[in-house]
Structure 1
């Protein structure tokens, strides 16, 4: 009789601060979040003897709950960590958004965790893992030995504020994983090796065709192809929902916001006293309508009530209409909400040119009475502002980059370039500019679309320099705006945009909804 065994692996990725089953922008119940996931984990543990529970990063940032925690309650335990401790996960991986609130918040979160954080390629000056362990070993009751090694996209310095990552070196994720897989196979001799990678797939799993620019941000496909010894690759970062196999490696990705989770089954059989993998399969399941865990709800009650009270505070008023009914049209034609964000940035920085984006298609703009709920549901990232000194040529190159957002469809209508929609929605990488006038001609080839750029009534001079305010993500070149990298920093505004918008309403209690039509987008 053949001795067999099954291991159930369940994991989350890109939870982004979603603890409670609620969408804060609408304040309505939603089938998402760790409170529901906790119920699922308990049920799975009741059904299976061998269960491994992991988180793949981007855990502690992304909701008003976490923004409020950092601003008002950071002296208490990080709620996302408190929940994961209560769930009893086996390990977590560092994600890029773990750094958004600064090193102190992250350090506190790690110290509060009862589980290890893994990231083999984020190292200190001596080359040792900055956040503790590169990998863990788990031995199941029947003797099956499981290795879990964690790596993080090394592209983080292209996005993150330098102060938030000071002293951390970001080694190539693929090369580092290669080293540790070889080491683990040689020294630990596991029966199963899991790579948990806060990064995604840069190519289609079936065809191998590139699905994005091959910048190194996502290396999952290359990891499967080039590294021998990985049995399972858990991915994230792209917010995709996928399962499949690449070069014999089982791959999964469970979306984002705690809406779904990854479920992997590994079947072993014993051959000559050694456990070998007989079968492996992956599925992605929604958390669905299961009830939220009562212990988690009780644990969250005080912070949740405080968050709700904070979100419902009226902070200002709008004279006119600043609501967004069509996010595409709000990008094609100047919208009062976009104008408002530009005004906030320019007043806070003193710069006379500003760059901003409509961050996602869920932004609804502002009603007549503004609450903090309106602010945080429209401005979802904890971005600070940076003023860069840019040449006129830099500005024109950035305009050409942003013009790539548009294409002409089969009927010659202006539409969104599909690469900004799949494999990951990237509407936040289309910028609108204030303080200059310009035209985008979508009928022209990419790289030749910008026309008639002027500043204060005169043509923009390629060789003169201008002060431009933008968020810290873009200022480091995030979104492949390479022309911004390593440019002189004139000023940094350390308050994040939620604080700056709040302060703007404190100074200007009523804001008029208006537009300065400084850009034009045309097709055929």
Structure 2
């Protein structure tokens, strides 16, 4: 007999097939609406009595539509948004880190309106150590087969979220919780599946480390040390994974609803229990499926309002502030990057600002009139701005870390190293600094590549204290940077980047700085 898991993750509020770059384009090969049609087709193919449908979080934030829904204090738009997810008919879900971006009241309303069960094993009430949301496990029956579901989230959420978003919560190791719960639940079920909003710190096949083992991703450790897990339904890293390792099926379905991950288990039920004959994994491309009319109906009116909201002009510049390309912006600078840095200094009064190019499609402000659409497409994350206290020595360590992202090939071309491109693109971790003037010699060994470093014509001094404007994701440890820690945060603004751009660009005459401040060679 067959048992089929269909799994989604990291849809990030892309409910309709558009990335919002072009208000008239609804042909993008993504979206929850395409996911829904694909899942309905698979249910019909296999039979609903053989199918289990799961999701591993990061739904509430990420798209302009999601941002627009959050602007509604009545939560009516959130209800429409949630209704679209309810159309899928999930059997079990877990939370993602970005589901905390808008605070607990918003998240709790979303959970309450969901028809699916949320399973949560490692986000605990700090007073009781009980699951703060949802239930500890769920048991589903399909054709007299008992399936146990556990749900875990990356424990790293407190490194990214402001305290008010996670007050009263305790995030513990996903590995520790599954190590404790899996043997207990496996006794009562035939198949054990784990939904994990987290990924792999090492290659699942070779075991080679792919990132620092800091606890953000614990998938490899779970895979290798918890044999009770039959099906591992992952997310967070936006990877496309489908493989079987050590008799465990592993899947991860990419980003924005580009795929539905599928696990097909061929099994027999015998007098001695379940015998698994085979495990097969695959990724179903949703571009091959039309949007589900039910989801289109749920969200079309809200989406139409969101498109009008995105086209609102918020300011008029004296001249455009473009980015020629994401790569050139990172390696040579761009007027938009300087403008963003100027804004961060304006709000914090910091000496220096740091930011990344947040999107590969970022093109900055290509016209003098700036719209909300341009702000969100260039800075799509729900970050908050911080001011951080650092010594000159710590600042140099941070810049030396950014220098490890780059290398020169045999022809002398500058490239980003594979680690930040594969298996998951992570160039949003590469920060540039303003108005520091610095040069990086990539021929030198790591730790000695920053060869020129001045601020307003003066060298950076090791013992001097500098104040840096940077987003909370980085200030709280995101990106594996040295020197940053929560105790160094001096202030955190309660504004999002749309609010800041609106206020800054309408505060008076804003001169776009077109100078280049850094050089890599």
State TM-score, norm by structure 2. Answer: 0.95
- The match for 2:416 is 416
The 2-side partners of 1:373 and 1:485 are apart by 33
Matched, 1:89 2:90: yes
- The match for 2:123 is 122
The 1-side partners of 2:192 and 2:111 are apart by 24
What 5-or-longer segments of structure 1 have no aligned partner? none
1:191–1:276 contact (8 Å) kept in structure 2: no
Q: How does 1:279-290 map to 2 (within 5 A)?
A: 279-290=278-289
The 1-side partners of 2:98 and 2:374 are apart by 22
The 1-side partners of 2:144 and 2:380 are apart by 46
1:10–1:262 contact (8 Å) kept in structure 2: yes
Matched, 1:269 2:268: yes
The alpha carbon displacement at 1:18 in A equals 0.8
The 1-side partners of 2:86 and 2:371 are apart by 33
Question: Any idea what SS the aligned residue of 2:487 has?
Answer: coil
- The match for 1:9 is 5
Matched, 1:21 2:20: no
- The match for 1:469 is 469
The 1-side partners of 2:94 and 2:67 are apart by 21
The alpha carbon displacement at 1:73 in A equals 5.4
The alpha carbon displacement at 1:74 in A equals 5.0
1:382–1:498 contact (8 Å) kept in structure 2: no
What 5-or-longer segments of structure 2 have no aligned partner? none
Range with greater deviation from structure 2 (195-204 or 470-479): 195-204
Matched, 1:385 2:385: yes
The 2-side partners of 1:104 and 1:482 are apart by 33
The alpha carbon displacement at 1:257 in A equals 0.7
- The match for 1:166 is 167
Of 31, 34, 52, which residue of structure 2 is paired with 1:33?
Answer: 31
Per-residue Cα deviation, 1:366-415 (whole angstroms, up to 9, x for no partner) = 12132111111111101110111111111111111111121111223221
The alpha carbon displacement at 1:161 in A equals 1.9
> Which 4+ stretches in 1 moved above 6 angstroms?
none
The 2-side partners of 1:323 and 1:107 are apart by 39
Q: How does 1:113-192 map to 2 (within 5 A)?
A: 113-125=114-126, 126-140=128-142, 142-186=143-187, 188=188, 190-192=189-191
Per-residue Cα deviation, 1:420-456 (whole angstroms, up to 9, x for no partner) = 1111111111111113222211111111111232233
The alpha carbon displacement at 1:514 in A equals 3.0
Question: Any idea what SS the aligned residue of 1:474 has?
Answer: helix
Question: Any idea what SS the aligned residue of 2:57 has?
Answer: coil
Matched, 1:343 2:347: no
The alpha carbon displacement at 1:291 in A equals 2.1
The alpha carbon displacement at 1:473 in A equals 0.4
1:22–1:32 contact (8 Å) kept in structure 2: yes
2:122–2:173 contact (8 Å) kept in structure 1: yes
Of 42, 50, 54, which residue of structure 2 is paired with 1:44?
Answer: 42
- The match for 1:396 is 396
Range with greater deviation from structure 2 (127-136 or 39-48): 39-48
Range with greater deviation from structure 2 (197-206 or 463-472): 197-206
Question: Any idea what SS the aligned residue of 2:175 has?
Answer: helix
The 2-side partners of 1:326 and 1:85 are apart by 38
Matched, 1:100 2:101: yes
- The match for 1:241 is 240
The 2-side partners of 1:208 and 1:229 are apart by 19
The 2-side partners of 1:163 and 1:404 are apart by 34
2:325–2:362 contact (8 Å) kept in structure 1: no
1:322–1:367 contact (8 Å) kept in structure 2: yes
The 2-side partners of 1:482 and 1:166 are apart by 26
1:91–1:115 contact (8 Å) kept in structure 2: yes
Count of residue pairs brought into register by the alignment:
514
Per-residue Cα deviation, 1:216-266 (whole angstroms, up to 9, x for no partner) = 222212211111211111111111111112211111111011111111111
1:59–1:80 contact (8 Å) kept in structure 2: no
2:233–2:251 contact (8 Å) kept in structure 1: yes
1:317–1:511 contact (8 Å) kept in structure 2: no
- The match for 2:515 is 516
- The match for 1:405 is 405
1:434–1:518 contact (8 Å) kept in structure 2: yes
2:8–2:54 contact (8 Å) kept in structure 1: yes
Question: Any idea what SS the aligned residue of 2:87 has?
Answer: helix
The alpha carbon displacement at 1:273 in A equals 7.0
Cα RMSD for the two superposed structures? 1.7
The alpha carbon displacement at 1:174 in A equals 0.9
The 1-side partners of 2:238 and 2:74 are apart by 27
